[in-house]
Structure 1
Amino acid sequence: MDRREFLRAAGPAAVAGLAGCLGGGSADTDYDVGMSAKAFRPVRIAVEPGTTVRWLNTSKQGHSVTAYENDIPDGADYFASGGFDTEQAARDNWGSSSGGTMYEGDDFTHTFETLGEYPYFCIPHERAGMVGTVVVTEDPETATSGE
């Protein structure tokens, strides 16, 4: 067997063996939004009402998922990792005890019922621009999503 023939045969097996190892993150792929060192991926996600979104910390950094309380739709349930009822409580607990911290491999879920846009952020990386948006719409196919 020559070198090219060997590489053609071994190439796919080598790539399969590395699945989940690249990027240093978790091999868990059953999530909607991942977290890199300072970004949510994707930054924007569109879902139908009643959808449960799962965030997974796929990085080695500690993160939070914290809704901008005054910017979510009227009547919508507030959400924050750590189970806080307000944005201020989430911020206060992060500052005093790192409450709501999601470490590598930790996840957070929230079910979205009310139509509209839900901007959120990571408390320790907000200044670095770690923000995202969940758009709840009857037709998520037409909503713009972004990396």
Structure 2
Amino acid sequence: MISRRHILQIGGGFLAGLAWPRHMHAAEAVEIRMQGNQDGSHVWFDPVGLRIEPGQTIRWINLDSGNSHTVTAYHPNNFDRPLRIPEGAQPWNSDYLLPDESFSVTLTVEGVYDFYCIPHEHAGMVGRVIVGRPGPASASPLPEQAAGGEAIPEIALRAFPSVDEIMRQGVVRRV
């Protein structure tokens, strides 16, 4: 005969098992698509703004059949660009991704991370990821130029969603 206690233990184990996929879901990679219209006159990251938790992975995938793209952190180690990722965070540069190729990065330091596509920065192909819940200092304007570096084009600066917008919505899409 099965006791009431045994049934409760089985039921508790079953409920704990149902909760497991949720935890796994939080650890899954988040995808940002690199896209462009058919004639190549407009290119973008989708989403353009995203908030994730520390330790989460982002996977960029090139879904633009007519262009190769990069995903490159704004950092002095990447072509002497301005520092627009948190101090102590590791910069990245995917190199050129052909259609259907992808690149992944795991971000662990809380803060604001700005990135761009090397050949399409002048077309405004930039994006922003917020990791965790950065303090007020992270919401202040980021530098536009590093010493001796090239200024970020105005079209790119206008394309970044605000930190407040990303924190409010979690995901910002613009096409």
Both structures adopt the same fold (TM-score exceeding 0.5): yes
TM-score (norm 2): 0.53
Aligned-pair RMSD on alpha carbons? Answer: 2.0
- Report how far residue 143 of structure 1 moved: 5.5
Distance 1:42 1:126 in 2: 16
5+ long unaligned stretches in structure 2: 1-28, 37-42, 76-82, 135-165
Distance 1:44 1:141 in 2: 9
Distance 2:59 2:170 in 1: 19
Select the structure of larger CA radius of gyration: 2
Amino acid at match of 2:70: S
Deviations 1:89-109 (A, max 9, x none): xxxxxxxxxxx1101000000
Contact kept in structure 1, 2:30 and 2:57, CA below 8 Å: no
Equivalence for 1:72? 85
5+ long unaligned stretches in structure 1: 1-29, 82-99
TM-score (norm 1): 0.63
Distance 1:141 1:36 in 2: 24
Deviations 1:9-68 (A, max 9, x none): xxxxxxxxxxxxxxxxxxxxx851001121000001110000010000011110000010
Amino acid at match of 1:65: V
Contact kept in structure 2, 1:31 and 1:56, CA below 8 Å: no
Report sequence identity in percent. Answer: 37
Equivalence for 1:88? none
Equivalence for 2:31? 32
Equivalence for 1:59? 64
- Report how far residue 138 of structure 1 moved: 4.5
Distance 2:171 2:97 in 1: 24
Contact kept in structure 2, 1:54 and 1:110, CA below 8 Å: yes
Question: What are the residue-to-residue correspondences of 1:38-53 with 2, within 5 Å?
Answer: 38-53=43-58
Higher relative contact order (CA 8 A, sep 6+): 1
Distance 2:88 2:33 in 1: 27
| Secondary structure, aligned partner of 1:40 | strand
Distance 2:110 2:103 in 1: 20
